[in-house]
Structure 1
């Protein structure tokens, strides 16, 4: 897929639907690739900054896509999109966007948080979405791509089967699918982070918690 880096190529492979909305479209290349490859029929790009809005307009000219200047899901009507993506933001920003208009989040959503993916996983649990896929892409650092789907048989108490039998803190921090697969790459990354955190003279509460969780995972 032209103009897409590795992380966005992985995001694109997760998408196949009628109408797809991309929040924070930046350059519009993700939607262009999805439309050009036939993975979607219609695209909606939403951007809250003037220059990225103009960039997306130029990229998507001639395609079945609409570019909107709006703040997150304020630019999307409930039920308008079949699938949603938010890429390249911190987990805090992604959750803020989702929580602002929860009724406008479609049943399929793909996120690529630059930091704090655990906040996105926690949002999914409380919002009754299941984590059906998580993939690591390599670039400036390790990017995690998370695909969520909302089951049709929603219950008052939601339990995502991806977390069954796992240490919940560890699964939220590092991903339930990653914990189950325990690939050599995943374990190597944990050992490297463990060595780095152990080398520090002083750890804050968050870092100390990460170190404790990593130590538990590697001891299994």
Structure 2
């Protein structure tokens, strides 16, 4: 059984279902760990690069798993998987993958972006996927792990309550669940980012928005 880093351990801890798909599977260590531990019954690895595709085939040999050479959800039929994970990409690419075949996205979505998680939070709001949990795994940097669940058809007109009562733009940027918990490591990361941004000679629009959001959070929570 492959050893997972803290980032993938945090993703794996949120997955328990019959069929799980992993897009951008690389070596397919996540799926192998899920299958070996019994957290899933069947896995589907989807990879669009030849070497990672071969890596995944080798890793999952002997397991109840399919390894498919395809671009994102083009390799998955609607309703085929109960949940899906996409890890280790930028938020821009993840959003484009999710938007390419919206009818094929399962009920539960686990996303671990390397940057721009705010784009995925906006995707959830736009596509009626509620943000039900957020975690942060520490590795080379702080990796956010976002868990989304499709809103049921009888509540299509409702809102994602995760954002209720919070500074909306700050919650989009930094995560509503993380803000509510207000844990010391999260606060320290906000302070470090604010210190860095204040030292810059000139800020663009996005850094200015981030700094302003951090300062508002600090005023409210101190």
Residues 32 and 59 of structure 2 are in contact (CA less than 8 Å); yes or no, is this contact kept in structure 1? yes
Distance 1:121 1:154 in 2: 22
Distance 1:198 1:154 in 2: 46
- Say what the alpha-carbon RMSD is for the aligned residues: 1.0
Unaligned runs of 5+ in 2: none
Partner of residue 69, structure 1: 69
Distance 2:71 2:49 in 1: 9
1:4 pairs with 2:15: no
Map residues 107-186 of structure 1 onto 2, 5 A cutoff.
107-186=107-186
TM-score, normalised with respect to structure 2: 0.97
Partner of residue 49, structure 2: 49
Residues 126 and 158 of structure 1 are in contact (CA less than 8 Å); yes or no, is this contact kept in structure 2? no
Distance 2:7 2:166 in 1: 27
Describe the SS at the equivalent of 1:38: coil
1:79 pairs with 2:79: yes
**Deviations along 1:149-192, whole A, 9 cap, x unmatched?**
11324444341011111111000000000111111111111111
TM-score, normalised with respect to structure 1: 0.98
**Deviations along 1:121-148, whole A, 9 cap, x unmatched?**
1000111111111001000000000011
**Deviations along 1:187-213, whole A, 9 cap, x unmatched?**
111111000000000111111111111
Cα shift at 1:28: 0.5
Distance 1:111 1:131 in 2: 11
Distance 2:182 2:86 in 1: 27
